[in-house]
Chain A
Amino acid sequence: MSDFSTIDRLLQDFVDGGLPGCAMEIAKNGETLYRGCFGYADLERKLPVTEASVFRLASMSKLPLVTVMMMLYERGKFLLTDPVYTILPEWKHTTKFLINPNAYQEIVPTKKAVTIGDVLSMKCGLPYCNFPGHADSETLRVMQRRMQPLWDQGHFTLREQLKAMADVPQLFEPGEHWLYGFSSEICAGIIEEVCGKSIDSVFEELLFEPLGMDSTRSHYFGDIKERMVKLYALNENNEPPSPFHTPLDDKHLPGKEHESGWARLFSTTGDFSRLMQMLACGGTYKGQRIMGRKTIDMMRSNGLNAAQQAEFEDTYNAGYGYGYGVRTLIDKNRGNHNGSLGAFGWTGGFGTWCEADPAEGISIVYMHNTVPTRELYYHHRIRTAAYGCLE
């Protein structure tokens, strides 16, 4: 039996050191090896984090998103070489900024269409544009101008957002660079169009219901709102955490007026472990086959060339390449990573982290919700401790 007291101590240290609360689950071949809940979901009301605590996933929502994309791919719904416009026709005429040798900028058509493979591997030239504000590129300025009417009207659908972005001049020729951003919105739009229903319904049917992920959705229902941990700002100089409001929370409110764009998911460590176990164990969870083992192997194969690797890799992602919507371990030394090559997963911008290691059948899910996340400090420590605890 593995001994997880190291993780207990580490997570307690996190909380003693000022983290409001956190939860973690490690599972192997369908069995839970470790489950830990520390600190508070609500510091003011002294409500502890429990196994029922619900956390905002932010970008960790990409895990179910790309998993569903890969499931549809292995069902022959599209090829990754298909242009996005075969499914979303308004993406037929994509453009990009061309900077001439004399620095004169012009807008020209892209040589190639954006393909489904491009958006699945984050190689479309559109960054994120969630709020108005400072823009560090002409592309982002154009995106903000296009989004402004939708933001003004308050409610908009994912499809309206995709239409507004379709001919925004991109930063580069599709497929040439790695750029974290709007690619995932396009994936969500492709899923909606291919399945003929909302992304939320697709998630439910293909993943959440078969896997029994009862607390994972995008809109509040039942007692979810009460179970959701408070979001806290971590302050400097040993000042205690303070409650932090994000407008993204409004997207969890039920009702059509809040279905703006692609809503982000919330989940529990227990729920998310089911998804990650399926991915760690060849597509099967508790005897039920969700997707193909070979498709998961493809999903976690690195698709970055040397230049793209440099765009992707920072201290936090050191040692990883990027496959189809997930980071994947390609160099243990660079990452000082004690997991197996091919371990894959992603991170959420409010502090969640997950990884599946198919070589071991292991999944690790960790969650806290703070701004900033201090992800380098927390995630790399729990990652090292989790793999260190394995027999």
Chain B
Amino acid sequence: MSDFRDLDQLLQKYVDDGLPGCGCVIAKQGKILYENYFGWSDKEQGKPLTRENVFRQASLTKIAMYTTAMMLYEQGKFLMTDPIYEYFPEWRNSTKLVPGPDGRMSIVPTKGPITVKHIMNMTCGLPYDMIMGDVPVQHPVSGLMAEAMKPLREKGHYTLREQIKAMSGVPLAFEPGSRFLYGFSSELTAGLLEAVCGKPAETVIKEMLFEPLGMESSANFIFGDLSERLVKNYYLHPGRRLGEADATYALTPEQDARFVGPLGSVSGFSRVVTNCFDYTRLMQMLACGGIYNGTRIMGRKTIDLLRTNTLTETMLREDFTNDYLAGYGYGYGMRTLMDPYAGHHNGSVGAFGWTGGSGTWAEADPCEGVSIVYMHNLQPNLEEYHHLRMRAVAYGCLQ
């Protein structure tokens, strides 16, 4: 039996140091090895965090979405080499920004179209135009994207398809496939799910993953009692440190509604709400060759492809590099461990997963059949402090 006292101590210290609450589930070959919750779902009202609580996943949604996309890939629904204009005709003629010697940008046609591969591995050349954490995105294309989105945002509610259409005229940051740039690729991938399946991406993911895996507290939209079970959306006041008095505040339900809401009520593509226990089902399926609880969800060989690095050495060195991502490459919508030494990572090569901007983290390690899911909701998420410590201790606890 593994001994998880070190993990208990670490997560308790997170809360003692001011994190409102966190949970973690570690499983191996279908069995839960560790499950524990610390702190509060609502600190002001003194409500403790329990297994019943659900968290906003932000970009951890990408694990579910890209998994679904790879399932459709292995069903022969599309090829990675397909230009995306086969699915979104208005994307036929892409342009890109080219900096001139005087620093001014000119707009020229791209040599080739954006392909499905480029939206799977984030090389399509469109960043996000939204505010990430509390840091506005500084990218020339982001400004153009925000401009293109203005009419839709003024309208209030818009569909993913409308958003994709609005973005089609925005010049790309570079030739598709030549650089890694985190961003709008994931919206295009969600759009691909809709185009291929003929229903909302939220519904596709629910039908292909959440229902077969019995993830009853997971959805890309609020239903049933999820809104009551949702932890508060905490923010850290700018310039303040966790642990100081009144360092954090929570969004009001009205402010929060733009992130979570019933099916069809959130603009564009919504983000998953789930908990550690539920997401562990998904991560266990990915860690155990596509099978969960005897049910086959997808192919082992396709998971092996999903976690194959797709970035060139240049992209790894210049585009996908920071202390948080050290040691990882990027596969089809997820990071994948290439160099444990570079990442000071005590997991196995080929362990893969992603992070949510609101503080959630998940990794599957097929070598060990192990999955690790950690969640808190705090923005900025202080991921480098919390996730990398938790990761080191979690792998350290394994037998």
Contact = CB atoms under 8 A, between A and B. Distances in A.
B142 interface: no
Interface size class of A (residues with CB under 8 A): 20 to 34
A339 B301 CA distance: 6
Contact of A333 (B74, B289, B291, B308): B308
A338 B305 contact: yes
B79 A390 contact: no
Contacts of B302: 338, 384, 387-388
Interface string B59-74: 0000000000000011
Contacts of B76: 6, 10, 13, 381-382, 384-385
Interface in B295-352: 296, 298-302, 304-305, 308-310, 331
Nearest to B332: A336
Nearest to B81: A315
A109 B79 CA distance: 46
A387 B299 contact: yes
A385 B81 contact: no
B206 interface: no
B74 A337 contact: no
A332 interface: yes
Contact of B300 (A315, A384, A390): A390
A391 interface: yes
Interface in B262-308: 289, 291, 296, 298-302, 304-305, 308
Contacts of A10: 75-76
Contact of A390 (B80, B301, B305, B308): B301
Contacts, number: 69
Nearest to A14: B76
A6 B117 contact: no
A333 B74 CA distance: 15
Given A384-B76, A388-B75, A338 B289 contact: no
Contacts of A381: 76, 79
A3 B296 contact: yes
Given A388-B301, A390-B299, A391-B289, A336 B80 contact: yes
A361 to B, nearest CB: 13
Interface string A358-391: 0010000000000000001100111011011111
Nearest to B76: A381
A371 B291 CA distance: 40
Q: Which residue among A3, A6, A336 has the maximum number of chain B CB atoms within 10 Å of its CB?
A: A336
Contacts of B308: 332-333
Contacts of A3: 296
Interface string A18-61: 00000000000000000000000000000000000000000000
A9 interface: yes
A119 B108 CA distance: 45
B301 A380 contact: no
Given A380-B79, A390-B299, A390-B300, A336 B117 contact: yes
A266 to B, nearest CB: 27
Given A3-B296, A376-B79, A376-B81, A338 B309 contact: no
Nearest to B121: A333
B75 A9 contact: yes
A333 to B, nearest CB: 5
Interface in B41-84: 73-76, 79-81
A332 B73 CA distance: 14
B31 to A, nearest CB: 20
B79 A338 contact: no
Contacts of B301: 338-340, 360, 387-388, 390
A333 B315 CA distance: 14
A10 B291 CA distance: 22
Contacts of B296: 2-3, 391
Contacts of A2: 296
A312 to B, nearest CB: 17
B80 A388 contact: no
Given A333-B331, A336-B73, 9 more contacts: A2-B296, A333-B308, A336-B80, A338-B74, A376-B81, A380-B79, A381-B79, A385-B76, A388-B301
17 contacts: A315-B81, A332-B304, A332-B305, A333-B308, A338-B301, A338-B302, A376-B79, A381-B76, A384-B76, A385-B75, A387-B74, A387-B302, A388-B73, A388-B299, A388-B301, A390-B299, A391-B296
Interface of A: 2-3, 6, 9-10, 13, 315, 318, 332-333, 336-340, 360, 376-377, 380-382, 384-385, 387-391
